[in-house]
Amino acid sequence: MATRFRLFVQPPFEDARACPEIVTVSSPLGSVGVGPSDDRMYVVEPVGKTMPYGVNRAPLGTPFIYLPPWTGNILAPAVPDERGNFDHYQPSMPGFEAAHLFGSVRFTLDVWERYLGQSVAWHFRDHHERLEISILPTWNNAQFGYGYLEVGSQFETDGSILPFSLDFDIVAHEVGHAIAFAVLGVPGLGKEFPEYVGFQEAFSDCVSLIAAMHFPSVINNVLDETRGNLYLANRLARFSEFSPHSQIRLANNQRTMAEFVHGWKNEHDLSEPLTGAIFDILVDIFHESLVARGLISPEVENLADVAEADPAARAPLQDAFDRAFARRTDGFREALLDARDVVGMYLAETLWALGPDFLDYGDVATAMLAVDEVETGGEFARLIDRNFRRRGIGELHAGRRINNRPRRGHSHSARTLLPRDISNFPKMSYRERVLLARSMSS
């Protein structure tokens, strides 16, 4: 028997009608304790924590790295019921955020550990046995780093506070970084290409997308909205990562590497050509599966390619999808699930094949083509190559980062910092250490 949680697929602050769904994660009943916590991770809601983990400044301005564990007081933790489940927590109850956060992390890991073929071994395991999942409501961000996954809140102009702990997309995105660091690793000193940080964001977006596609309600809603024409704006193509840039990013985008040759300002923007290429590959594999199943004709598949560039083709394309979907709804669902699993597995195998030093998007394309050759004898090579080339991936490369203020991207956090980097930070005076200790204990 496994453990149950209630998770929002669509956070309640995006859709007031959203209700949490009961999900079952792989943790055996009784293995998740108070917190929630298990042998790999634990949730805490600190009392009196004034700054997030990562790079901070001491009272006199000296930068320093602040890492877990939190040793101060915490709010009352979530407690399992008599059988070991956490689905008794409702959104209005204390402890629901903690249970939702843990459940979202575990659900995402379950999905991706199946594709990876093994459990994720934390990249910080030499210094921390477990991941600390921390809730810091006063912080306007969310971030994975060395030993922690910490989430804050979005602060609206009307005074409302939107907790990121209830946004599955944000949490799953941060788990994506944990997976990338565990498998891919951190570049050596002086060996980080710009596209490494872009890959981190693109891969993490895809982790969120594929994980969300494991909720039956997401698959049903996407197909009901689009009738299988996934290029329509829909739940699948959106990433609601409010922090740190307060915008909706689209997997279904038209960005290319030509936009970044002369420089880039934000790694989220830089990630979009790669995210878009992978989304297009997902859609094309879905279309190929529909044709193979006899659900749409090759002519409709070709019309879908035309409609990307020709608005006049979009209405007849939608009509064709509407008719086909009405005839074989279950077949469309099966085809989409198959495409999901192909892309998930290809991404996992691609990650295993990459190295962090001097990584660029061309390496990703080459590795994915190699995975396709091994898995299918090159069945999807044409469409994989076409979609990467359309974005200039492998042909054009990102220039240098353009300094911009304020700096709000993840690459300015402690995400890629390791304990080795502490020695590079300036030493604090005795007075500043005392002031810092007082501020952190108040």
Does residue 227 surpass a pLDDT of 70? yes
Confidence at residue 298, expressed as pLDDT on a 0 to 100 scale? 94
Q: Name the least confident of 19-23, 25-29, 233-237, 251-255.
A: 233-237
Q: In angstroms, rounded to a whole number, what is the distance separating the alpha carbons of residues 45 and 310?
A: 51
% helix, strand, coil for the chain, step of 5:
45, 15, 40
d(CA 33, CA 18): 28
318 is written with which tokens? 């939608």
For residue 409, name the pLDDT band (cuts at 50, 70, 90).
very low
Q: How far is Cα 19 from Cα 231, in angstroms, rounded to an integer? A: 26
* Per-residue confidence (pLDDT) for residue 238, from 0 to 100: 59
Q: Which two tokens stand for residue 167?
A: 């946004």
| Separation CA 219–CA 141 (nearest Å) | 29
Instruction: Name every residue whose Cβ is closer than 8 Å to that of residue 238 and which is 6 or more positions away in sequence.
Output: 248, 249, 250, 251
CATH 3.10.170 placement within the chain: 2-183
Q: Is the pTM of this model over 0.85?
A: yes
Q: Which two tokens stand for residue 148?
A: 């922690």
- How high is the mean pLDDT of the chain? 89
Asked if 184 and 355 count as a contact pair (C-beta separation under 8 A), the reply is yes
Q: Check if the beta carbon of residue 12 is closer than 8 Å to that of residue 91.
A: yes
Per the listing, tokens 């944000």 go with 170
* Tokens matching residue 163: 């907790």
pLDDT higher than 60, residue 413 = no
pLDDT(391) > 60: yes
- Domain range 2-183, CATH architecture: Roll (3.10)
Cβ atoms of 32 and 80 closer than 8 Å = yes
